[in-house]
Structure 1
C-alpha cells in the first residue's frame, strides 16, 4: 500500500505506508489533475497547483466580494439587517422576512437556543428546510441557485453565499414541475404550550395549505475510476485480492433536492457496498538502494536499506529468504583530529585501486577519473573546548631584599575569551610568589635609610642614584644597589 505525499501535490511521489523512503513516479502529474490549494476547482498545471479565480482564469487571484461581484470592493450592494423579536405567536409557521433575488452573504442566526425551528420555503410554496411539519437534519440544501447551510448547534443558523455560477446542460432533461422564482420566504415554526419535539412529526393543520406531496426516489452515484493513482483513494479497499468498494446513496425529491432518508422506501434502498476483486496478491521481497553514507566517518561502519514483503506486510508471507538490510562499509583508517577540542580536520590518502580476486593493485588516478573521488579532508568534531586559566607575566619584586613578592593577574576565560566561572579551582595558578628572600646587608640596619617612594626600583634601573635627591628618597634601594655593585 502506498501513501502519496501532499507536500508536492502536482508531483507523483509516493511512500509505502509504514516505511520512510519515497519513490518518484513522475516529476509532474497530468495537467488538469485536481489538487487542494484554496478552492474546490484547483488543478495542477505545469507541475504547480493553481487556484481558479472567480473570473474563470487559473492563478488570477480574483475573488468575489460580499456583493457577489468578481473583483469588486463591496460597493455595489447595501447591508440589510434586522431582528425578529415577536415571541407571542401561536403554534404554526410565521413569516419573518423575504430574501430578495440576488441577495448575497445571507445569514439568519438564532441568538440563543429555543424550542423553535427556522424554516425555509420558496416563493411558490415549496418547502426547503423544516417544511411539512417535519424537522430536517442539519446539512446543505440547494435552492434558489445557491446552497443553504443549516446548522443546529446552541441555536440554529441558516447561511448561504448567494447566487453561484451556473452552467447550461446542452441536453437538459424535461422538467415537469414549474420553475422556481428567485423569491424565497423564510418561515419559523413557533411552539405554543406543548410544541413539537425535535426530530418529531406533527400531523398537518387543516387551516394551513400544504404543498402537493412529491414522490421521493433513491439516487445512487456510479462507481467511477479510483480517485487516486496511489494511496487509499475511494475505490477498492485492497490493492490485491478481494475487498469492498462503496458509493453514495441519497434520497432525493422530484426537484432534485436531497431530503431525509426517511422520505424514501427503505426496502428499495440500493446497496452501498459491493465486492471488488483486484487480482491475486503477489508475495515477494522488495528493497531500495543502500544509504549514500556509511554510519562511521572512518573505520568500519554499516550501510542500510529498507526491505519489505509486498503482500500484506507480514514477513512470513514471503517464502524466499529475506535479503540483508545492512552491509559493511569502511571509509579508511581513522586519523587523529587536528584539534584536541572543538572543530578540526582529518586528512587521509585517497588512491585508485583495482581489485583482482582477493588482491588489490594501485592504479593511476586517471583510471578512476569516471568515478567521484572521495575527499581527502573532512571535518572532525571533538568535545567542546572548556574554559581555561590564563595568566599575565609576573610583576617586578616588591623588595630588593628581605622577602619581597611578585604578583600576576589570573583569569578564567572561554575559547571566545569571555570571562567564565567554570574553571577547576583546584588547578588555579598562583597569583603571587615570593622573591628576593635574601636578608638585607647589616649596613642597612639604619632605620633612617628607607625608601620613601614606590618607584625606587625604577630609580635604580634608570641609574638615578647618582643624584643626591634620588639617593635620599630611595636610600635603601640605592645603598643595596651600591653594595651589590661592589660584590661584583
Structure 2
C-alpha cells in the first residue's frame, strides 16, 4: 500500500488459525497471514503445553504425550479421578466479633493444596496468614502488606485486593501448595464480617474435619468431616480452633525431631513496591525488601541482614485497567491561501495506550469525548491590493497613435510596496495603453543641418533629414505634401587645404587576360597629378 510497516506476532485468531503465521502491523489494527503453517513446536492456544504439529494445535497431556488428553485432577494425579484427595471448604460468617483485631478463621493442615481464601464481599477488614511456628506471612504485626506474591510454608501465596479485581469479592489468598506446615488464617476485624469462604485440598488418606466456628450457627459447605449441623465428627479434629484433640501419628511413623533453630535478630521484610510504571493500561512494579529488626520491625542498615537470603525482587503487573481512549490531534496543514480567507486541515485519530504502546482504535471508543474539528478557516494576513499611483502620462507622439503610461503598484495593508505576486495578477490594472493624437499634418518636415561636412578641408557637403508626415512617416512625396521636396544637402567649406602629397587609388578595373592591375597615381592635396 505504498508504506513500510513493522510487524509483530498476532495470536488473537480463531482456533483453526492458531497454527498459521499471522502478523500485525505495529500500531495498526490489521493483520496479514504470512504463512499457512508455523514451524512444528510453536506454542499455540491458551494452554502452555499446546504446540503446533503439522499445522494443527495439539495439547501435550500431563503424561507428556501429544494428544493423550490426560490432565491433572484436582489431587495432582495425572489422569486421576479425584479420589486420591479430599476437598475441604467452608464459610466463616460470624457477623460480629468481640473487638477490633485479629480473629482466627480456619487452620489449614500441612500438605494442603489449591488453597483459596476469599472475602465474599468487599469490606474494610483484612485477611492475615501466620504459620504455626509463629512466622507472619501476610499482614502480620498490624502491618498491612501490598498485594503481591509472598512465600511461606513451602508455597507461594498470591495476595489480592478488591481494587485489583473486577468482581464484588473482597481480599483473597491463593496458593498451589503443598504446604509443609500448619497454617492459621485470620481476619483483622474492623467492621461487621460479610463472610469469608475457604477451600483447600488434602490427601484422602488423612481426611480432615471441618471447623466449628463458635459461637455456633455458622453454615459450613464441606464435603467430608462434618455432620449436617456443622459440628466436628468423632475424630475430634477442629481446624478452626487449633484441634480439639491433637492429630495422631500413625504407628509406623516416628515424629521427626527438629533441632532448635537459631533465631536471627534481623531479617528481610517486604516493605512495599516501586511506583507503577503506568497509571493505566498495564504497567509493572517491583517488590522492595528491607532489612528490619525481627521483633520491632524497625528498619536497620541492609548490612545487618544476610544478603544471600534476601528475596529476589518480583515484577508485578499493576494498573491493569484500560486507559481511557483519547483523540490524538495532528498538526494543522498550511493555509490554502497566503493571504485572505483560506482553509487548513489536520488528522484526528482515536487512540488508546496499552502496555506502553499507543494503538489506533475505533472512533466509537472516543464517543464520550467531543471530537475535535478536522478543518478550519485560516487567514495569514489581509491580502495586498493594486493601487494606481499616478495619472496617465502624455502621449509619446504629438500626432497619430502612440503610447501613454502610469504607475501601478501592489500595496500591502500597511501601505508598503510589495512584490506583484502578493496581489491577484488577474485583477492588475493596465499600466500602459495606446493613445491616438489624431491625424498628423500633411506637410514636409525636416531636421537641422548636420554639423559634419563631407570634406575636412576645401569644398564638401552636409545633409539633413526630410520627411513627409501624414498619419504615418514616409520620405516619399505623397499627395498633400507637395512635389517641391526641400533639399536635403548643401555645400560646406572648411577653408583651403594645406599642401601635402599622398597616394590616391581608383576603383579596380574589370579582370583582363593580361593581368592588368589597378590604376594609381601620386597626387597632391589639390588633386593635381604628379609623376
TM-score range (shorter-chain normalised) is 0.3 to 0.5
TM-score by length of 1: 0.34
